[in-house]
């Protein structure tokens, strides 16, 4: 796209219906959007590194139980590459995978968030990667240090 004008299109192929696009983000730091996939039957996670309509790389990030859901992708450690924010829908545990392309370079627990809370957004709210969550009428912003 160039504003509202379509400047190109192309087919990326076909995947089974069990695969869903979970997020897009710049996982390899080339300023182009990549695609994060999840197999809803097996829990496998896969990333396609993109250049426009061309897939320039891909890789499996592993498999995680289906109780874990991808909440957001964003740059949580300040390296200009998208990372993956997970949440366990049974326990409320929040976990981040720090990414470099198709390689997980680090991970860690961000703690537990009550199941009445939903993660609404991640972003840079104060010059530091942050995430917001909402529970009922309350809004909470958690500031992160990479």
Query: Which own/partner pairs from 61-70 qualify as long-range (CB within 8 Å, at least 24 positions apart)?
Result: 61/97, 61/99, 61/102, 61/104, 62/104, 66/40, 67/91, 68/43, 68/95, 70/22, 70/23, 70/36, 70/38, 70/45
Q: How confident is the model at residue 4 (pLDDT cuts 50, 70, 90)?
A: confident
Q: What is the pLDDT of residue 140?
A: 47
Q: What is the pLDDT of residue 123?
A: 60
Q: How confident is the model at residue 132 (pLDDT cuts 50, 70, 90)?
A: very low
Q: What is the pLDDT of residue 122?
A: 67
- The pTM score is 0.81
Q: What is the pLDDT of residue 14?
A: 86
Stretch 39-47: mean pLDDT? 97
- pLDDT (tens digit, 9 = 90+) per residue, 81-130? 999 999 999 999 999 999 999 999 999 998 998 888 887 766 654 555 44
DSSP states along 124-135: ESSSSEEEEEEE
- pLDDT (tens digit, 9 = 90+) per residue, 7-38? 778 788 888 999 999 999 999 999 999 999 99
């Amino acid at each position: 796209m160039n504003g509202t004008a379509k400047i190109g299109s192309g087919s990326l192929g076909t995947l089974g219906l069990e695969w869903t696009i979970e997020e897009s983000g710049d996982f390899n730091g080339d300023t182009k959007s990549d695609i994060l996939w999840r197999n809803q039957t097996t829990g496998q996670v896969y990333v396609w590194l993109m250049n426009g309509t061309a897939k320039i790389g891909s890789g499996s990030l592993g498999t995680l139980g289906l109780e874990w859901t991808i909440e957001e992708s964003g740059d949580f450690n300040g390296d200009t590459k998208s990372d993956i924010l997970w949440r366990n829908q049974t326990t409320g545990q929040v976990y981040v995978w720090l990414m470099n392309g198709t390689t997980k370079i680090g991970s860690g627990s961000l703690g537990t968030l009550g199941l009445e809370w939903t993660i609404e957004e991640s972003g840079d709210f104060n010059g530091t990667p942050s995430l917001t969550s909402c529970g009922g009428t309350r809004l909470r912003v958690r500031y992160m240090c990479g």
